[in-house]
Amino acid sequence: MTMKFRLTAMLFLAAAAGFSGCSKDDDTPVDTETLKKDILVNVSTNVITASYTDMHNKATALANAVAALESTTNDANLAAAQKAWKDMRVVWEQTEAWLYGPVSSEDIDPRIDTWPVDFNALDDQLAGGNDFTADYIDGLPEDLKGFHPIEYLLWGKEGNKTAASFTAREKAYLQALTDNLVALSKQVDDAWKGGYATLFATAGQSGNSTYPSLQSAYLEMIAGMADICEEVANGKMKDPFDAQDPTQEESPFAKNSIVDFTNNIQGILKVYQGDYSQNGVGLEDLVRTYNLSLDAELKTAHAAAIAALQAISVPFGQAISSQQSQVQTAMDKINALHTVLDGPLKSFVLQYVK
């Protein structure tokens, strides 16, 4: 080995040693070009598509629980249906950190998750005589289908529904609404499995006009993460807070709004870390290769936002009047997380992903 070679080797070793301090799990230098593509494959398959499959399964479980409630209407079956609603809600709220692609372009989101509920129209539906066929539910306005009318039927306006108080019309409507939710969640799942996952994972490859560069897919991910912060802090929380109007709360009957918001923010970390039902590579792995302090900054801001939401100890509709400082702090922390996502993280992607 000549001197020159030895010098090169030493430089290489030094570089490898340098990398080892930054890489996440082991001491080998990371091939970031491959990593950048692997992240997209993992996020589109094992995070996003997996989440929609999970949501479809949870929707089916909800429809089954409602079917059980319909055939045997007792409080245990009502509690089981309520739990199934909350279980599905966890998944959906997390997926709101990636509200791009078919869920938005096929207008699924408004049909699944519109609030507030149109009480009068809903009561009219119950009082009327129309058959709740799949086509009939399809044709209903957005505020008469999806999560929140289901929530209204399962919990009642005051949140104290009992099995004994269910009417046959309520049960029929409930069943039709949950079946509709199954169909819509299947539509999103199918759309990702049937092509959108590949489209997203092959960003930057020739012929991909939707995602013409790797960077465009990365920016899409970051925008999804940032937008949900914006939506939670400046919409879901701020609108009822500013108006001091609990009727504008997202999930008032189940008193589930804080859980909703928390899962929205949790979704951000799922996509950042590439971990949904299994561990995989995510943006985190790229960030940690180059900038450990950015990774720490993001995780600190994220943990602070979650902690601030957890500090609200009463249902959100009450908290907007009785725990105003906690609500304000939570909005501030979520906005601070937004600043990290939309600022340093976005700049990072613009610099390192082309």
Partner 1 sequence: MTRLPLLYKTFTVLAIGLVLAPFACTRPDDSYHSPAEEWLSGGQQTVYDEGSNAYSHIFPVLAENFERVHEVGDAQFGATFVSPPAALNPGRGPIFNNVSCSSCHISDGRGKIPGAGDSSISTLFRISLAGTNEFGGPRPVPGYGDQLQNRANYNTVKEADVFVQYEEKTFSFADGATYNLRFPTYRIANAYTALPADVLLSARVATPVFGLGLLAAISEADVLARADENDGDGDGISGRPNQVWDVKKQAAVLGRFGWKANQPSLLQQIAMAYNQDMGVTTSLFPVENCAGQPQDDHRGDDPELSDSLLYANEFYIRTLAVPARRNLTDPQVQAGKQLFNSSGCSKCHIPDQRTAPDMSFPAISNQLIHPYTDLLLHDMGAELGDGRPDFKAGGTEWRTAPLWGIGLTQKVNGHSNFLHDGRARSLIEAVMWHGGEAASAKEKVRTMTAAERAALVKFLESL
Closest CA to 267 of 47, 102, 103: 47
Closest CA to 194 of 342, 340, 17, 53: 53
Tokens, residue 47: 């995070």
197-216 positions binding partner 1, by CB under 8 A: 209-212, 216
Nearer to partner 1, 53 or 248 (CB): 248
Q: In the chain, what is the straight-line distance between the N-terminal and C-terminal CA atoms, in Å?
A: 38
Single out the residue of 18, 76, 110, 351 in contact with partner 1 (rule: CB under 8 A). Answer: 110
Sequence length of the chain is 354
Q: Is 121 in the site for partner 1 (CB under 8 A)?
A: yes
Q: Is 223 in the site for partner 1 (CB under 8 A)?
A: yes
Nearer to partner 1, 18 or 139 (CB): 139
Closest CA to 330 of 200, 240, 216, 197: 240
Single out the residue of 178, 202, 248, 289 in contact with partner 1 (rule: CB under 8 A). Answer: 248
What Cα–Cα distance (Å) separates residue 281 from each residue in 5, 173, 312?
35, 43, 33
**Can you tell me the distance from the alpha carbon of 334 to that of 246, in angstroms, rounded to the nearest whole number?**
21
Q: Is 291 in the site for partner 1 (CB under 8 A)?
A: no
Closest CA to 82 of 184, 30, 28, 152: 152
Single out the residue of 18, 194, 235, 343 in contact with partner 1 (rule: CB under 8 A). Answer: 235
Nearer to partner 1, 239 or 275 (CB): 239
Nearer to partner 1, 68 or 183 (CB): 183
Q: Could you tell me if 262 and 305 are in contact, meaning their C-beta atoms sit under 8 angstroms apart?
A: no
Nearer to partner 1, 71 or 209 (CB): 209
Q: List interacting residues with partner 1 (CB under 8 A).
A: 99-102, 104-107, 110, 114, 116, 118-121, 124-125, 128, 139, 141-143, 209-212, 216, 219-220, 223-224, 227, 234-235, 239, 245, 247-248
